[in-house]
Amino acid sequence: MKNWSLAPLAGLGSAALLGGALYFQFVVGLAPCDLCIEQRWPHLAAVIIGLLVLFFPNRWLMALGALAAATSGALGVYHTGVERGWWEGPTACSGTADISSLSPSDALDAIMAAPVVRCTDVAWELLGLSMASWNAILSFALAALWIVAMRRAR
C-alpha cells in the first residue's frame, strides 16, 4: 500500500456517506432538511479531492480532504444540537421565525416558502443517535483518516 493510498479511501468513505444519505432520501423516502443537505456538500468536496489525490498525491490536497470531512462533522454536531434543543437552529427550518409583525399575505408567503422538513425533527435513529449524529461521528473518523494519510505522505 502506498503512503498516500488512505486518502482515496477516505474519499470513498465520504462517497459511502453520500450514498447512504441519498438511499434514505430516494429509497426509504426520508426527505432531508436544509441542515441535512448542507452536510452533504463537504462530503462531495471530499470525494472530488479523493479522486484528485489518485492522480496528484499531494499533502495539501489531503489537508483539504480532512478539512472537508471535519466541516461535515461540525455541521453534524450543530444539527444534532438543533435536534436535541441544545441551541436554536436556522429560523428557516426550525420553525422559530416570528411572523407576527407581517401582513397576512407576507405571512402566508413566509409559510409557503418554509421547508417541509424541519431541522428540529429526527427522521431516523440508530442506538439513540440521529443521522446527523452518525454523520458527525463518521465524518470526524474520515477526517482522522485523511490526516493519517497526510502524515504518511511526508
Domain holding 64: CATH number?
Answer: 1.20.1550.10
pLDDT of 147: 93
Count of structural domains, the chain: 1
Range of the domain at 35: 6-152
* Residue 141 CA: distances (Å) to CA of 58, 73, 79, 117, 134: 20, 9, 18, 28, 11
Decide if 30 is inside a domain: yes
pLDDT of 58: 87
Of 9-23, 55-69, 102-116, least confident by mean pLDDT is 102-116
Decide if 17 is inside a domain: yes
Greater confidence (15 vs 119) lies with: 15
Cell numbers of 154, please?
511526508
Phi/psi of residue 125, nearest 5 degrees: -135, 150
Percent of the chain's residues with pLDDT above 70: 81
Residue range 63-87: mean pLDDT, rounded = 92
Phi/psi of residue 39, nearest 5 degrees: -70, -20
Decide if 1 is inside a domain: no
pTM for the model stands at 0.78
Residue 16 CA to residue 142 CA, distance in Å, equals 11
Decide if 49 is inside a domain: yes
Decide if 105 is inside a domain: yes
Decide if 116 is inside a domain: yes
Decide if 22 is inside a domain: yes
